[in-house]
Amino acid sequence: MATIDLGKIKQVWRGTYNNSTAYTVDDLVEYTDSGVTSTYICVANSTGNAPSSSGTAHASWNFVAKGVADPIPSQSGNSGKALVTDGTNASWGTAGKLLKIHTSTYSTSVATSGGGTHDTGLEIVITPQALGSKFVVHAYQQGQVFISSDPSCNWHGVIHRKVASGSFTAIHTNNYLGSTFPTNARETDITPLVIYDSPTYSSGETITYKVTAGIYTSNYGLKYTAQNSGANSRSDFIVWEVTA
């Protein structure tokens, strides 16, 4: 009686492709070509013929399930960045992404008088989340201006910054000019000071911001009291750290 060769009655999984293995029709293998892993079926007996090259299948093989490249780009060297897309490709974004909101509060009364600037006690020490970050610095300085006689009043609030153990540098000043004050007048306000800051710093270095305040003269009994009600008042730093 004649013998009829029916061949394989089902496909055979052979695992990861091996260049020295002899494959026959209907063998299935897994193979990674240019970083993309796909599944292939053998369509002609083959030895030493990789299933595909640069995304094109060899004549001995067909794709069963064609893989795709990893849509997430390499994370190496991209610490602190955010993944963004242009609708087709993903990349690590470098502009305006919020990394962290840093906050600090101070509520101890601090009196300043005379010319110059004086620490108000409001300070914040930041450990940046990434190199090259920018900082949107908001200082809300609470305090009271007092005057014993009757001129107009000019006082100022200043944000200072230092990196690591360096010296403080004034980076933003607001001057406030009041109208004519009655005798022994008191005016209590929360004064906003805001700046977009681009400091230069190295990995592991901290950045410190502080507020000082002062009156333009020591005459007329002028005095500024930060956090004038002590525990019942407060000043705040809110610093937004964003990618460059």
Q: Considering only CA atoms, which of 143, 239, 152, 147 is closest in space to residue 191? A: 143
Q: What is the DSSP string of 160-214?
A: EEEETTS--EEEEEEEEEEEEPPTTEEEEEEEEEEEEE-----TT--EEEEEEEE
Average pLDDT per block of 10 residues along the chain, 244 residues long: 64 96 96 94 96 95 92 78 76 76 94 78 95 94 77 78 96 75 67 94 96 75 79 92 83
- pTM of full prediction above 0.85: no
- Spell out a b/e string for 88-100, using b for 16 or more CB atoms within 10 Å of the CB, else e: eeeebeeeebebb
Q: What is the CATH number of domain 98-242?
A: 2.60.120.760
Q: What is the identity of the amino acid at 118? A: H
Q: Structure tokens of 13?
A: 């999984």
Q: Structure tokens of 136?
A: 């949107």
62: which residues sit within 8 A by CB, 6+ positions away?
Answer: 40, 41, 43
Q: What is the DSSP string of 106-160?
A: E-S-EEEESSS-EEEEEEEEE--SSTT-EEEEEEEEEEEEEESS-SEEEEEEEEE
How far apart are the C-alpha atoms of 65 and 68, rounded to whole Å?
A: 10
Task: Indicate left, alpha or beta for 4 from its phi (over 0: left) and psi (-120 to 50: alpha).
Answer: beta
Q: Taking CA 59 as the corner, what is the angle to CA 53 and CA 60, rounded to the nearest 5 degrees?
A: 100
The residue extents of the domains of the chain are: 12-65, 98-242
What local confidence, expressed as pLDDT, does residue 181 receive?
55
Instruction: Tell me the per-residue pLDDT of 3-27, one tens digit each, with 9 for 90 and over.
Output: 666 666 789 999 999 999 999 999 9
Q: Considering only CA atoms, which of 237, 233, 239, 238 is closest in space to residue 110? A: 233
What local confidence, expressed as pLDDT, does residue 108 receive?
93
141, 159 contact by CB (below 8 A) = no
231, 107 contact by CB (below 8 A) = yes
Classified as helix, coil or strand, 232 is: helix
124, 237 contact by CB (below 8 A) = yes
Instruction: Tell me the per-residue pLDDT of 191-205, one tens digit each, with 9 for 90 and over.
Output: 899 999 999 999 999
Count the Cβ atoms, other than its own, within 10 Å of residue 83.
Answer: 14
How far apart are the C-alpha atoms of 133 and 244, rounded to whole Å?
A: 5
